[in-house]
């Protein structure tokens, strides 16, 4: 049952009871009115209105804007009609208006239907009508209109909070159901498919030759399948970049500069291949709002909508790359997310080309309040101290352009931590903010 349903029932009861109260008060003071027949005609019209519309306040679907404005019009008309049918002495003495406290129901209807802003508008109209009817700022009148205003606004705010809580609860229940189903599938898959893939990988490595390649592919599919059942990543084919194409993908005509910088940074004896690169990586699909769809450029421009960084980085996961992510979307403007993803790709290309056979890479995504931090770490030979600075001074700017340049344009930073024979760690920090001018494709040159 919706949290709003009891409120609508309460409003229906309030309108009926306050109508009875207003009719009784009018009947008891009938002879004291200057024009009682005019007042009786209004009370009859109000009663007929209630008979025809009482069902409109039983649910949000039946309570339309047309009804709300009609209800408010009846309340205001009754207030403004009071000076025409009642004596001036009674009005100055604080006699109730024709609709009396029934008018608060009109403001409460706006509150439950539209929240505190609608309530503030409706109760303000009622307040002005009451002040016009009294023709002075009498203490009791001001007290009454303020009470109606505060009560309707408070109820409207509570309704908005209740609706937000209900949506959050529904979302949490959906996530819980999806998680349970994924865990059930994970158990079944672990007992069958994953064990077979793991066995094929081990046997292929032991046999060597073409069987080794088959084993490597089985290992990559095992990683992709584990990622799917654990975090909802949907596998998608992605070609593995070669060492030459990797450098070309991250700069405009920067092949030589990229290769020179990488060679200078890692040493001439580094291996030029990274066989365990992720030939098959998963592409991201979130169980909630599809922020990943916003990461796709529209023509040559990126969408202004927020993009989930995880959607761009998840495809790198594979047998040689471990991807760790938060459980919730990590949002950046699409152009910033694409530039960050390109910098991560450049860092992984360095690992593939220079970290050596069998090296492993890790990608860690952190969502901080003011920035998104992505750390790329490998267990390769590391970078000798001062090698990156020497390469930049010598004009070999591949790393500077592909990684540092991108992050600098976004107002962020790129920091290298490397220990010889213990691997290299690159920390990429991008502040959360507006989209840089001229949204570009993620692999455009820096």
pTM: 0.50
- Mean pLDDT, residues 38-58 taken together: 93
Smallest CA-to-CA distance from 354 within 264, 252, 241 is with: 264
Tokens matching residue 231? 């975090």
Smallest CA-to-CA distance from 351 within 268, 404, 425 is with: 425
- Mean pLDDT, residues 144-157 taken together: 91
| Residue carrying the six token digits 């303020």 | 146
% residues pLDDT > 70 (the chain): 74
Smallest CA-to-CA distance from 410 within 396, 395, 430, 426 is with: 430
Say which range, 22-31, 183-192, 193-202, 417-426, has the weakest mean pLDDT.
Answer: 183-192
Dist CA 429 CA 427 (whole Å)? 7
Find out whether 162 and 3 touch, Cβ atoms under 8 Å: yes
Say which range, 73-87, 286-300, 414-428, has the weakest mean pLDDT.
Answer: 286-300
In which band, very low, low, confident or very high, does the pLDDT at 98 lie, cut at 50, 70 and 90?
Answer: very high
Say which range, 72-76, 93-97, 207-211, 230-234, has the weakest mean pLDDT.
Answer: 230-234
In which band, very low, low, confident or very high, does the pLDDT at 268 lie, cut at 50, 70 and 90?
Answer: very low
Cα dihedral sign, 12-13-16-17 = negative
């Amino acid at each position: 049952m919706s949290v709003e349903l009891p409120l609508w029932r309460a409003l229906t009861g309030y309108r009926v009871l306050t109508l009875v109260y207003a009719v009784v008060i009018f009947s008891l003071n009938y002879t004291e009115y200057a024009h009682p027949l005019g007042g009786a005609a209004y009370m009859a019209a109000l009663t007929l209105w209630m008979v025809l519309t009482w069902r409109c306040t039983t649910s949000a679907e039946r309570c339309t804007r047309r009804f709300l404005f009609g209800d408010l019009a009846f309340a205001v008309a009754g207030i403004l009609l009071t000076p025409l049918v009642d004596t001036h002495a009674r009005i100055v003495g604080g006699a109730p208006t024709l609709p009396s406290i029934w008018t608060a129901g009109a403001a409460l209807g706006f509150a439950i239907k539209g929240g505190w802003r609608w309530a503030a508008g409706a109760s303000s109209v009622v307040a002005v009508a009451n002040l016009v009817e009294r023709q002075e700022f009498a203490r009791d009148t001001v007290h009454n209109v303020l009470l109606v205003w505060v009560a309707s606004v408070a109820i409207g705010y509570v309704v908005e909070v209740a609706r937000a809580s209900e949506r959050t609860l529904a979302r949490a229940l959906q996530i819980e159901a999806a998680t349970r189903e994924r865990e059930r599938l994970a158990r079944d898959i672990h007992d069958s498919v994953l064990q077979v893939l793991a066995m094929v990988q081990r046997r292929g490595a032991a046999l060597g030759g073409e069987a080794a390649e088959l084993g490597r592919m089985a290992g990559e599919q095992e990683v992709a399948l584990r990622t799917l059942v654990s975090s909802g990543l949907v596998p998608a084919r992605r070609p593995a970049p070669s060492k030459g194409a990797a450098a070309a993908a991250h700069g405009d005509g920067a092949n030589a500069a990229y290769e020179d910088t990488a060679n200078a940074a890692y040493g001439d004896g580094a291996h030029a291949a990274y066989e365990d690169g992720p030939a098959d990586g998963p592409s991201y699909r979130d169980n909630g709002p599809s922020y990943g769809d916003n990461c796709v450029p529209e023509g040559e421009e990126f969408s202004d909508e927020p993009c989930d960084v995880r959607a761009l980085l998840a495809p790198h996961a594979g047998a040689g790359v471990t991807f760790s992510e938060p459980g919730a979307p990590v949002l950046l403007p699409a152009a910033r997310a694409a530039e960050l993803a390109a910098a991560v790709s450049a860092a992984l290309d360095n690992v593939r080309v220079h970290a050596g056979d069998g090296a492993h890479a890790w990608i860690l995504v952190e969502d901080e309040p003011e920035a998104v931090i992505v750390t790329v770490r490998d267990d390769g030979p590391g970078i000798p101290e001062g090698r990156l600075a020497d390469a930049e001074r010598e004009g070999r700017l591949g790393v500077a352009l592909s990684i540092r340049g991108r992050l600098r344009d976004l107002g962020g930073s790129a920091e290298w931590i490397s220990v010889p024979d213990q691997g290299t760690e690159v920390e990429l920090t991008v502040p959360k903010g507006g989209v840089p001018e001229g949204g570009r494709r993620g692999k455009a040159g820096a």
